[in-house]
Structure 1
């Protein structure tokens, strides 16, 4: 039971970030607000990083996917910051 709880948390983090990306993208298509686009892309990269965490820690624990996970997280944050700056210029 104790080993099941971290797995459940990792999967729920992935599902939540993927659902946020989907909802943000859907609202972007409806309203064309660019901040929604940048947020959707950010959450999409976060979902990919969370999926890599599930693969790394649950599916294939012998693999070390920390570097790609950290790169995805950094890319997500950089993309959102770029979107904020881009929208401030207009």
Structure 2
């Protein structure tokens, strides 16, 4: 029974970050505020990261996807940082 808890947490993390990405993208589409775009892209990468965590730890535990997970997390943070810097320079 305790083996279901990590799976539940991983799937809830994926669902939450995917929902955040979708809501931020929808808000960007309505308002056009570019900070929402960068945030939506960041959460998209983080949702992909969480999906790879599910794949890595639950579906195919024999395959080490640690590098892919770290790459997606880095891409998300780098995208948000790039968006902050880009919007700061255009003001």
Q: Which TM bucket (shorter chain)?
A: over 0.9
Question: For residue 2 of structure 2, what is the aligned residue in structure 1?
Answer: 2
CA RMSD of aligned residues (A): 0.5
Question: For residue 17 of structure 1, what is the aligned residue in structure 2?
Answer: 17
Q: CA deviation at 1:54?
A: 0.1
Q: May I ask how many residue pairs the two structures share in their alignment?
A: 90
| 2: CA distance, partners of 1:63 / 1:4 | 21
| 2: CA distance, partners of 1:68 / 1:59 | 15
| 2: CA distance, partners of 1:22 / 1:29 | 10
Moved segments of 4+, more than 4 Å:
none
Point out where structure 1 has 5 or more consecutive residues left out of the alignment. none
Question: For residue 75 of structure 1, what is the aligned residue in structure 2?
Answer: 75
Point out where structure 2 has 5 or more consecutive residues left out of the alignment. none
Say whether 1:61 aligns with 2:61. Answer: yes
| 2: CA distance, partners of 1:62 / 1:8 | 20
Q: CA deviation at 1:89?
A: 1.0
